[in-house]
Amino acid sequence: MKRTHPIITSLALLTMGFLYLPLLGVAVFSVNSARRGLVWKEFTFDWYIRLFSNERILEAAWNTLLLAVISTILATILGTVLAIGMDRFPWSKRTRNFLDIVLHIPVVIPDIILAAALVVAFGLLRVVSSLFDPGLLNMIIGHITFQIAFVALVVRSRLVAIGRDVEEAARDLFAGNWYLLRRVILPLLMPGIVAGAMLAFTLSLDDFVISFFTAGPESQTLPLYIFAAVRRGVTPQIHALSTLIMIITVIIAISTERLTRKDLFGREKK
């Protein structure tokens, strides 16, 4: 085997260091008993314990989780239906291209634009009903708007990979729409749906911009809390909180990766 040049190896290591050292630093300082400064004093779980006795943080964590779970469930259902509809309905070529662009817009558009648009939209809706006052409902709707696109893209690539052959075979074997969906399409699509849902979940979990523009006084989430707290100075508690969020994200990322690496029937590929 050809050996990699030392320069390439060191560049790769540097990049990794650049990406992960700050995160590692946060984790280290979250277990350092020194209140400020870059001096290591001694190991402690104190900041974590204080974290769990802080009412506001617990409330923010609960809001974050509630928001992420509800928006992910809804976005996953809608995104999956959208993907199936886009891929399997016999659209004309022009419509298909148009839908394709529409689907990609929420992915590439800057969050701030989407957020501003949501503010305008909710402002108009507020005239109709006070349901659309800033708060959790607005945040859920806001998160769903960008999550749908991510779910639909992941599910659709899975649909393309499955191909139409098995569907036609199922029809040829007398399967009606519902039977086809339940016994063939959904089981084959499941890894894609789960991967899409996990992606949507992490996106919601650490979203700041959309939440910031749509949140009300009662719907503080963790990213919003951290933002507000950091302005008063970074405390070890924030380090502890960030480390926890990081660990959750890493767990989700790894399990998504493992899930998509498995083959169609949940068995590991050889």
Report the interface residues with other proteins, using CB under 8 A: 165-166, 168-176, 179, 183-184, 187-188, 263-265, 267
How far apart are alpha carbons 17 and 178 in whole angstroms?
Answer: 51
**163 dihedral zone (left: phi>0; alpha: psi -120 to 50; beta):** left
- Is residue 176 within 8 A of residue 184, CB to CB? The reply is no
How far apart are alpha carbons 37 and 152 in whole angstroms?
Answer: 46
Closest approach of other proteins to the CB of residue 254, in Å: 24
Between 41 and 88, CB nearer to other proteins: 88
Closest approach of other proteins to the CB of residue 188, in Å: 6
Between 121 and 170, CB nearer to other proteins: 170
CA-closest candidate to residue 82, choices 156, 147, 144 = 156
Closest approach of other proteins to the CB of residue 165, in Å: 4
How far from the centroid of its chain's Cα atoms is residue 165's Cα?
32
How far apart are alpha carbons 106 and 99 in whole angstroms?
Answer: 12
How far apart are alpha carbons 12 and 138 in whole angstroms?
Answer: 42
Closest approach of other proteins to the CB of residue 179, in Å: 5
What lies within 8 Å, CB to CB, of 75 at 6+ separation is: 143, 144, 147, 148, 151, 197, 200
Between 53 and 177, CB nearer to other proteins: 177
Closest approach of other proteins to the CB of residue 201, in Å: 25
Between 170 and 234, CB nearer to other proteins: 170
Closest approach of other proteins to the CB of residue 176, in Å: 6
Between 191 and 223, CB nearer to other proteins: 191
Closest approach of other proteins to the CB of residue 159, in Å: 14
Between 93 and 232, CB nearer to other proteins: 93
**253 dihedral zone (left: phi>0; alpha: psi -120 to 50; beta):** alpha
Between 129 and 177, CB nearer to other proteins: 177
